Structure 1
Amino acid sequence: MRTLLARRSVATGTLGAVAAGSRVAAGIGLSALLEGGNAFDAVVAAGLAETVALPSKCGLAGDVVAIYTRAGDSTPTSLIALGGAAAGLHDAAAARGWDVPATGGLSVGIPGAPAGYDRLGDLGRLGRPRLTAPARALASRGIVWSPLSALLAHEARDLLAEHQPGGSVFAPATGPIEPGAVVPLPGMARLLDEFAERGAQLNGGRVGEAIVRRVTAAGGCLTLEDLTTVTVDEAPAHRVDTAHGPLWATNAPTYGRALTEVFADGEASPAGPDRVREVLARQARGALALAGEGTSTVAAVDREGNAVVVVHSNSFPQFGSGLVVEDYDLVLNNRAGRGFAFEPGHPNAPVAGRRPLTTLHAWATRHTGGWVLGATPGGEQQVPWNVALLNGLLPTDRTENDLGQALVTPRWQIGPDGTARTEGTELPAFGARSSHVLVRTGTDRATAAADPRWDGAAVSA
């Protein structure tokens, strides 16, 4: 079974390839390649489609972290579109004795996603209206409510009911949405129309005003001015030299630094749970949480040698803050509530403009013919799962088959008590909620791969 899943996880073509956490999003990304776009066009088209297909995980009120390479690059680029603390959050937290809930009005962070998608689209060829159109059409005609979406809505039912007691499009007062039901999202279609027009400035107009009204009504402190402060941090990814070659990852404030530190000791043996626990303990976030479902990943590669992986997120665990802006079917993130340390003087305290520490990260490695890039959702389990995957990739000169075999290798994760649990023993086989996407550049082909554990897919042409 593992051999079959490994083979089906990988797609290789001569034009390009796309992997995503949603099958429909992967197909929409491939359509951008078929219409003459490059990998950046494909990943933005797929990413925007996921904001419609996976509204509990990602959206235009979330954040974007990415790593990419272009033909001839010697170093990958780290891209971070993550909002800083609202100007009033520090004082609001202090007034509450630093007891800030992880969800609700004060938990809402400044969305970085519009600026992130817009910048990645600038690296493409097709333009924002074309990249937005398929996602807009999907929202208008409706998404098919998948078993995964039904599960995540069930897990978040109390959160959504607390903040939308009259029900919402994702959790109607009449009862849960059944798997297979078609759910039109006309508000999200309007949101994507606004994004097509305004791009990175999305929240400077009507959408931002609607966000501020919703957050204020829930006791938050975001202002329209706060929403216009996002900048995209684009810089060479940092590198460490491992026993098996170099490894690059996204820069601070992402957990890319934690991932590379795991491998930076130069030991040839595979990195294990003890090493991961040691590194994560220095992140000062307390006990590890179980994996959440507030994040997804998309990736694309083209025949020109461009490759990009995007991690986009509403934060942890699912449906972010629990607040929905009804006019736009928009789930608001809780990056501030989950990411900041609400403690005066802490280096990760919510000082105005400071970006919170985030578990989101992506990585890159070399092989003889080019690059391999990857990422997974999973909250604080992202580092353990990426380590488990890279243990199978770093020692070899990776082929397309290596990617599939690495994806089906049993994952291990670390529980709140610090105990490591492995698939097939303490966890069911394929029981982790990892959802890796990988892309591989080559001299005459492009490869993408998607984790077989959930609803991801890889397609190519």
Structure 2
Amino acid sequence: MTVIRPPLAGDLGAVSSTHWLASGAAMSVLERGGNAFDAAVAAGFVLQVVEPHSNGLGGDVAIALYSRSAGAARIVCGQGPTPRAATIEAFTALGISRIPAAGVLPACVPGAFGAWLRLLAEFGTMLLADVLQPAIAYAAGGYPLLPSTAQTIAVLAPLFVDEWTESARTYLPGGSTPAAGSRMRNPALAATFERLVTEAGAVSADRETQIEAAHNAFYQGFVAERIDGFLRRTEVFDSTGRRHRGLLTADDLAYWRADVEDPYALTYGDLTVLKSGPWSQGPVFLQQLALLDGFDLPAMGLNSVEYIHLLTEAAKLAFADREGWYGDPRHVPVPMAQLLTAEYTRQRRSLIGGEATIDPQPGLPCAGDPWIPQPEPDEPVADAPEWLTQLRSGIPTVGVTRAGAGNTCTVAVVDRAGNMVVAVPSGGWLKSSPVIPGLGLSLGTRAQTMWLSPGHPNTLAPGKRPRTTLSPGVVLRDGEPYLALGTPGGDQQDQWTLQTLLAATRFGLDLQAATEVPAFHIDHFPQSFAPRTARPGVVVVEASHDSSVLAGLRSRGHRLDVVPANTLGKVCAVGVDPVTGFLRAAAGARGRQAYAMCR
């Protein structure tokens, strides 16, 4: 394979994110004496401004970190719960059998802001004003509009003009569709950030007190009030083709805080891999890795027929368990400990044979009757405009049929002290719901990933976290910080990052080369986002795989969807070289947008 970008190394800090301006903001924080957590927060807020088609202040985030001072890894959960009024009955009373992909009905408590503040308060060192300054500057002064953002705005412009009028004021400057590369501003969002900083600074000069005051201003103050007022008085056109009021209230926001949790861990050789809990899909990474532990991967050869077949079959088994067992553990019992035991893994591993599995099912690690819900088919809309067709798709970007290189964001940072953090922010994108007047933000629609079928672990319930696809990961080597990585890509995140990890740790590729290895993934189960399509037996592979490998996979019973080279994923990774001590950064070259840097 030909590697497009060079390996990077330095000793002050290493940064990788899905946008060069966010990476630059993070590096500037490190150069000013901030730590990795300060830098990640600054980058996270910049991403909300410069990638509005992929995330926003009204969205959510999952964060994995290793703190050198604590000598431990932690997970920050920025996945907000559903409103207390969100019941199955509330939706069925509206004649809805599947939670809409867009609008205000699927809106959850926006968790991103609270999670970034928790990270800053507990692990960072800088003032909120300092880490927000780059985002404020870009929102007020402007940033170059990405082609994918411009395309999304162009497709949705009729919806904005006729229905989502505040979105039109925000994204159609002068009433016109902006061109890629043009200077885009969001003055209302800049004003929201500035007011949060002002209200925080008026309370105290103490750093942590200011952060708490900003949290209150958002979740109990002017932001919550404006969200509540808009949802109470406005019927919003959504992906059902009708108008509905939202269920989210100021009270839902007032009682929420981001949690800091212990990660789930798996030992793999000299590595300890750390992921978020089953409120996310994070443990599916661990389950795949555990299944692979019984095989000699280097002997197979990277991206050989046998290798791809093995990873594909392991993914089917792990994702079957995700579908059957994962959900918010505060609301449903999730047998996570049993799913990761050696004996259960051995039983599941024995199911992997030489041919493609047609009907993988969840395992039985404990008493119970796991099942995989099947989505209701989409009702056809005669002569539907393109914007409505795109609105009915729950992924952020228009014009694509799978979660690929243009969806969601990632930022990863490691500093010279060995602090390491990786975050995957998403939700609150410009296609999800209308901009809230006076705030410059849209609400996330993560509840679309839940089911209205009673009795499933991911069934809708009041105050319950939807099972998110956001899945950052931290890897230790012999107990020391080694790698942190994540990627956009919905359900595929834990397949693409696994391939990067294996390429780097089992096949000896440098970190940049590992992010550029030809990728593949399964689409076997219903996707988390509307229209919840499933393609049993299909393996999506980049065309850069050798033709003989593709033929070999077909001979084993795999149905292949061959897509253009360099179109699957956008892995961002940072790490510490255990031999030299140099800090490393890599950004997948797919999409020509992710950017890594070292100093």
TM-score (norm 1): 0.90
Q: Name the aligned partner's letter for residue 565 of structure 2.
A: A
Structure 1 residues 369-378 or 339-348, which shifts more?
Answer: 339-348
Match of 1:460 in 2: 598
Q: What's the CA shift string for 1:118-176, capped at 9, x where partnerless?
A: 01112111111111111101111012112232233345556656741572422469442
Q: Measured at CA, do residues 148 and 98 of structure 1 come closer, stay the same or move farther in structure 2, by a change above 3 Å?
A: closer
Structure 2 distance, partners of 1:205, 1:291, is 35
Match of 1:255 in 2: 281
Structure 2 distance, partners of 1:276, 1:388, is 11
Q: Name the aligned partner's letter for residue 472 of structure 2.
A: A
Match of 2:26 in 1: 29
Match of 1:115 in 2: 114
Equivalent positions of 1:102-251 (< 5 A) are 102-122=101-121, 123-154=123-154, 156-157=156-157, 160=160, 163-164=163-164, 167-171=168-172, 174-196=175-197, 197=200, 198-201=213-216, 202-216=218-232, 217=234, 218=236, 219-242=245-268, 245-251=271-277
Q: Measured at CA, do residues 70 and 220 of structure 1 come closer, stay the same or move farther in structure 2, by a change above 3 Å?
A: same
Q: Name the aligned partner's letter for residue 130 of structure 1.
A: D
RMSD: 2.5
Match of 2:383 in 1: none
Q: Measured at CA, do residues 279 and 319 of structure 1 come closer, stay the same or move farther in structure 2, by a change above 3 Å?
A: farther
Q: Measured at CA, do residues 231 and 172 of structure 1 come closer, stay the same or move farther in structure 2, by a change above 3 Å?
A: same
Which of 537, 556, 564 aligns to 1:428? It is 564
Structure 1 residues 168-177 or 156-165, which shifts more?
Answer: 156-165
Q: Measured at CA, do residues 45 and 344 of structure 1 come closer, stay the same or move farther in structure 2, by a change above 3 Å?
A: same
Is 1:309 matched up with 2:408? no
Q: Measured at CA, do residues 134 and 226 of structure 1 come closer, stay the same or move farther in structure 2, by a change above 3 Å?
A: same
Structure 1 distance, partners of 2:374, 2:45, is 33
Structure 1 distance, partners of 2:81, 2:261, is 18
Structure 1 residues 420-429 or 285-294, which shifts more?
Answer: 285-294
Q: Measured at CA, do residues 186 and 285 of structure 1 come closer, stay the same or move farther in structure 2, by a change above 3 Å?
A: farther
Q: Measured at CA, do residues 242 and 334 of structure 1 come closer, stay the same or move farther in structure 2, by a change above 3 Å?
A: same
Match of 2:382 in 1: none
Post-superposition offset of 1:239:
1.3
Which of 58, 68, 71 aligns to 1:71? It is 68
TM-score (norm 2): 0.70
Q: Measured at CA, do residues 96 and 307 of structure 1 come closer, stay the same or move farther in structure 2, by a change above 3 Å?
A: same
Post-superposition offset of 1:30:
0.7
The question of whether the paired residues in 2 share the 8 Å contact of 1:16 and 1:445 is answered with: no
Match of 1:412 in 2: 520
Structure 1 distance, partners of 2:36, 2:163, is 38
Q: Name the aligned partner's letter for residue 92 of structure 1.
A: A
Post-superposition offset of 1:230:
2.1
Q: What's the CA shift string for 1:349-377, capped at 9, x where partnerless?
A: 22222111011111122336631010111
Match of 1:291 in 2: 403
Structure 1 residues 15-24 or 234-243, which shifts more?
Answer: 234-243
The question of whether the paired residues in 1 share the 8 Å contact of 2:169 and 2:175 is answered with: no
Consecutive unaligned residues of structure 1, counting only runs of 5 or more, are none
The question of whether the paired residues in 2 share the 8 Å contact of 1:363 and 1:374 is answered with: yes
Match of 2:559 in 1: none
Structure 2 distance, partners of 1:260, 1:163, is 44
Q: Measured at CA, do residues 162 and 345 of structure 1 come closer, stay the same or move farther in structure 2, by a change above 3 Å?
A: farther
Structure 2 distance, partners of 1:187, 1:133, is 15
Post-superposition offset of 1:235:
1.9
Consecutive unaligned residues of structure 2, counting only runs of 5 or more, are 201-212, 237-244, 298-306, 324-371, 376-394, 396-400, 524-533, 545-561
Which of 405, 413, 429 aligns to 1:300? It is 413
Structure 2 distance, partners of 1:156, 1:379, is 22
Q: Measured at CA, do residues 195 and 19 of structure 1 come closer, stay the same or move farther in structure 2, by a change above 3 Å?
A: farther
Is 1:350 matched up with 2:351? no
Q: What's the CA shift string for 1:393-447, capped at 9, x where partnerless?
A: 3425x6xx62111111001133431311211251111022x12111103464322
The question of whether the paired residues in 2 share the 8 Å contact of 1:246 and 1:366 is answered with: yes
Q: Percent identity?
A: 27
Q: Measured at CA, do residues 154 and 413 of structure 1 come closer, stay the same or move farther in structure 2, by a change above 3 Å?
A: farther
Q: Name the aligned partner's letter for residue 33 of structure 1.
A: L
Q: Name the aligned partner's letter for residue 308 of structure 1.
A: V
Q: Measured at CA, do residues 303 and 159 of structure 1 come closer, stay the same or move farther in structure 2, by a change above 3 Å?
A: farther
The question of whether the paired residues in 2 share the 8 Å contact of 1:83 and 1:229 is answered with: no
Q: Name the aligned partner's letter for residue 453 of structure 2.
A: E
Match of 1:445 in 2: 582
Post-superposition offset of 1:94:
3.9
Q: What's the CA shift string for 1:303-329, capped at 9, x where partnerless?
A: 0010100111117xx535232113222
The question of whether the paired residues in 2 share the 8 Å contact of 1:240 and 1:247 is answered with: yes
Q: Measured at CA, do residues 162 and 220 of structure 1 come closer, stay the same or move farther in structure 2, by a change above 3 Å?
A: farther
Q: Measured at CA, do residues 152 and 450 of structure 1 come closer, stay the same or move farther in structure 2, by a change above 3 Å?
A: farther
Is 1:388 matched up with 2:499? yes
Q: Measured at CA, do residues 175 and 285 of structure 1 come closer, stay the same or move farther in structure 2, by a change above 3 Å?
A: farther
